[in-house]
Structure 1
């Protein structure tokens, strides 16, 4: 064989083995236009490539530099909601179908089929064991059958897919399996004790995926005593779990610690666990984020905490009849309404006059209107047509102090306070505002 021809063949084999594709179909086709691939890293994600989706069909040719691991395929915004996570091993030609109704169906990929089939099988086996407890069953023979099945599922997948990327997740997910009958209380105690036994916290593929952060979240918010009898007690137990988790990951890269703690903070925040969210931020996340150069995260969380439901509103002041007035010293009312608007906002000019009239029927309501303006000229004219509002101006518009303090991104924005001036609602429209006040 001629040397040059041999070289071409050799290079062709190398490129074939070093480069793969991800292709498939999205349905309904009209709802999907583009797809972006990101490599998931311990601290976030890294752009890899993108493609258009034409009539529901796409093909992503992965670059030779793409490394084996977990990849996120984003198909809409916000991208932290509309995505598909895929294992890419640098060799497989992966194909799948995705439907808004049916979800994800892997049609070709040993790695991804193994991953999905394993988690379906192990979840079903674990659910059967929990149903045994929930039904009050105490048969030791039935218990043994269920735990043997659970062990067999785990062992089968570990052996069958050894050497794959999916195996990393399968082995790390090995659940606690009792060797003999245990009461529910003892089982949950041991399950919590052994929660971290198989988690390879320093594995970069695991760090990049959602696997570890989901495991931490499950531990922090679910591995709890059966005897919790108050919200305060719940907060205390969750905080203990947070400290255990923080100690477990303290030798990992700071970027990963930020990712893990931010996930815990978001769950606490969404579930209105304010004390827990504040604890995570003040004792862990804030200093980690600063050390990681992520001041924007600190600023965002500080604002979110300041404006969360249940928080006392930041103060607002205004001038009237030569005197300074403020929200904090305002006379007692059943409710307070903060309206952030602008005299140059066409939507505001259309909506506020009608709303001004509609709000007259709420006798226990006091209203403060904050004009986000570049100058006073137009604001003075328009605000004078809304006499039932207490008016103040915020010069600098989006960069003004009040816009920054209250995180205003559009006008009009409404915030409703209770009689203690705590935030109780953030209606997204005038109609939603009226519905809230009426109900």
Structure 2
């Protein structure tokens, strides 16, 4: 069973007194600075920064009006790759050690210690249960005993968390307790059916945290049918949408947008498109969020397996101007759409090689549409003339060109390889991969 382990959560904001945040980074002299951000559901907000001294120590004194919640320390560039998150409740100092392996240990702060314990122990219990369930000869009473130990630990953890920010979060993800264990499969089915029992998406405390998203992602992936993974994950997505239906539309859009980002980033294309088509695009349209609806639609239109979006260009025959359409191109076994520019050095290196490759193949096996993203026709025309085997299309306004925007082009060269039905089969980043995609197995 695939496990999705995510980072610490976002927490709601209250007001409290001054405390310190101290970090010890190892090895010494490997880190230079620390930037503190406050995390909110919609963004991260700069708070302050400090240098990490020669002994690897970083220290910040928070202001009296520093609001409790989830905070982020960035310790290197790029910022989106070098950071970690922690809880600040305003009542206690936070102190930690951090090493080059990105391992963080909290030496002060009960909030962070308890949440770290929850993340570590819950994963250990889940892994142990899976191992017991797949080990031949293990008796049911062994699994029942492991479940009893898990429940005893959880109840103790919850008791220790009383009065803290982390309490409601730990309470929301209460593990299912089976009193009449029969088989692990039956137990797993009950865990899935009871997964959201303690989780109230309407609570402001949870809405202002990242827990709803994390909990939903774990549900979608951890309880998918391994024999039908995509279909079952899509069913799980539908369940998540139903669970948040009691919240307002703006909050639903926030959670589902973040979920879509996770799916797209992790290349879960079918699941991302299912979420978008069935739920998120209609919601975006309902809220008049044209930008989001357009973004999701473009992603779907240029996904692997989709028929490449149609577009047109003018061709001139004497005094006549004819409008040509991509979908009307003569049949071929493969099509390539390449977005390039006459001022792009990589393009001027690769596009001639693509032309030579097409010239070496059986005529009409591969048809190439080369869209030149340009500011001026005069720069493009003499270069495009070197590629007579291509269908050359001038795309003026460069990065604001309609065809380029239709294909979400942000760099040149950009390639799309299509099959005989003009369905996208590859989006190679390297020219070698373009050539590989042109190979047709008989």
**TM-score, reference length from structure 2:** 0.82
Gaps of 5+ in 2: 1-14
Could you tell me whether the CA contact under 8 Å between 1:122 and 1:153 is conserved in 2?
no
Report the Cα distance in structure 1 between the residues aligned to 2:202 and 2:80, rounded to whole angstroms.
Answer: 24
Whether contact under 8 Å (1:51, 1:58) holds in the other structure is no
1:51 aligns with 2:49: yes
Question: What's the secondary structure of 1:328's corresponding residue?
Answer: helix
- Whole-Å separation in 1 of the counterparts to 2:206 and 2:405: 37
Instruction: State the Cα distance separating 1:368 from its structure 2 match.
Output: 0.9
Tell me, in whole angstroms, the C-alpha distance in 2 between the residues paired with 1:365 and 1:172. Answer: 56
Q: Contact conserved, 1:416 with 1:423, CA < 8 A, in 2?
A: yes
In the aligned structure 1, how far is the partner of 2:360 from the partner of 2:382? 25
Decide whether aligned partners of structure 1 residues 330 and 47 sit closer, same or farther in structure 2, where only a CA change above 3 A counts. Answer: same
Partner of 1:103: 103
Task: Judge which range, 200-209 or 148-157, deviates more.
Answer: 200-209
- Alpha carbons of structure 1 residues 142 and 62: separation in structure 2 relative to 1, 3 Å: same
- Matching residue of 1:13: none
| Residues 207-286 of structure 1 mapped to structure 2, 5 A cutoff | 207-224=207-224, 230=228, 235=231, 237-269=232-264, 276-286=271-281
Corresponding residue number in structure 2 for 1:377: 378
Shift in alpha-carbon separation, 1:35–1:299, aligned structure 2, 3 A: farther
Q: Give deviations 1:219-262, integer Å, cap 9, x for gaps.
A: 234334x6x7557xx52x44443343223222334343223222
* 2:190 equivalent in structure 1: 190
**2:20 corresponds to which residue?**
21
State the shift of 1:321 in Å. Answer: 6.5
Cα distance, 1:187 vs. partner? 0.8
Which residue matches 1:329? 328
After TM superposition, give the deviation of residue 405 of structure 1 in Å: 0.7
C-alpha contact 2:74 2:83 (8 A) present in aligned 1: yes
Question: Which whole-Å deviations, capped at 9, do the CAs of 1:317-363 have from their partners, x for residues lacking one?
Answer: 34556355433122332321111112233443344334433553444
Residue 418 (str. 1) matches residue 413 (str. 2): no
Distance in 1 (alpha carbons) for counterparts of 2:86 and 2:125: 24
TM-aligned CA distance change 1:284 to 1:117, over 3 Å: same
Which sits farther off after the overlay, 350-359 or 306-315? 350-359
1:40 and 1:72 in contact (8 A); partners too: no
Unmatched tracts of structure 1, length 5 or more: 1-15
Q: Distance in 1 between matches of 2:72 and 2:44?
A: 9
Question: Do residues 147 (structure 1) and 147 (structure 2) align?
Answer: yes
432 and 38 in structure 1: CA distance in 2 versus 1, 3 angstrom threshold: farther
Deviates more, 1:338-347 or 1:79-88: 79-88
Retained in 2: the 8 A contact 1:416–1:425? yes
Aligned length: 417
Counterparts of 1:32 and 1:427, CA distance in 2: 38
Shift of 1:369: 0.6
Cα drift, residue 75 of structure 1 = 4.9
Distance 1:59 1:386, change over 3 A: farther
1:303 aligns with 2:298: yes
- Decide whether the 8 Å contact of 1:312 with 1:422 is kept in 2: yes
Q: For 1:125-136, what aligned pairs fall within 5 Å after superposition?
A: 125-136=125-136
Instruction: Point out the structure with the larger helix share.
Output: 1
TM-score by length of 1: 0.83
| Conserved 8 A contact 2:16-2:65 | no
Instruction: Give the direction of change, closer, same or farther, for the CA distance of 1:243–1:91 in structure 2 (3 Å limit).
Output: same
What are the residue-to-residue correspondences of 1:39-118 with 2, within 5 Å?
A: 39-41=39-41, 44-51=42-49, 53-54=51-52, 58-75=58-75, 82-118=82-118
Say if 1:26 and 1:32, in contact at 8 Å, map to a contact too. no
